Amino acid sequence: MAFFGLFKKAPLPPADLSVVRVDMHSHFIPGIDDGAKNTGESLEMLEEMYELGYRKVITTPHIMSDGYKNTPEIINKGLEKLRKAVKEAGINIEVDAAAEYYFDYDFEKSIAKKDKLTFGNNYLLWEMSFMNKPDNINQVIFEMLTQGYKPILAHVERYPFWHNDYSVYEDLASRGTLLQLNINSIAGQYGGPTKKAAEWLIDHDMISFLGTDCHHMGHLETLQKALIEPSMHKLLASGKLLNNTL
């Protein structure tokens, strides 16, 4: 019996996030959504992001009609102030911004206006309610593609209504939607079913973007736990991530 302990696998070393280089989902602009409350919090998080190996962040404030009614003007004004603070603080990290759009009526009816904040190759980050799947999701994906956007579904592993049918992920991908995974899902922050879905998506090479979805320092503390997970190492070694192309 005493020999069984000899065969226990040694823990993996922390994964190297410098291979990701760019984070494309976060909430660092202070005071405009449920992310950083002030500039001091923003700078503390960005300093830690640099230490983790990131050299660029594309921060993505919420835009939702019944919650955070941000506009491109509000976001870009906040970005300008944050960039100035980062420069003054001497943090050697590039900061850009887009948005995380909430799938609601206002989003649906405004897709044709072509006024959405995007990043990279016209990538558009969007999310849905965690409670109810929209009935017309396929139509809205088609509309985004028709208007020239490349839709990225935020934290795809977190939607509980898909946890009993992983084939939906394959359907989303076949319709032209790129899938983004939250690092902290790998650490189990959002519960066992979400962690299991994340691992399935990684095992099936379905993740194109990895995001911190960082709102506060607690998220970055939890992130450290994900770095030693086998699935994290597998994802970084997959060659499927597009973060470093941004």
pLDDT in tens, 209-230: 999 999 999 999 999 999 999 9
Task: Provide the mean pLDDT of the chain.
Answer: 95
Binned at pLDDT 50, 70 and 90, residue 10 comes out as confident
pLDDT digits (tens, 9 = 90+) for 120-164: 999 999 999 999 999 999 999 999 999 999 999 999 999 999 999
DSSP 50-102: HHHT--EEEE--EE-TTS----HHHHHHHHHHHHHHHHHHT---EEEE--EEE
The identity of residue 202, as a single letter, is I
Q: Assess whether pLDDT exceeds 80 at residue 104.
A: yes
List, in sequence order, every residue forming a beta bridge with 152; answer none if it has no partner: 125, 178
Binned at pLDDT 50, 70 and 90, residue 8 comes out as low
Average pLDDT of the segment spanning 175-190: 98
Fold of 17-245: TIM Barrel (3.20.20)
Q: pLDDT digits over 65-79, tens only?
A: 999 999 999 999 999
Q: pLDDT band at 11, cuts 50/70/90?
A: confident
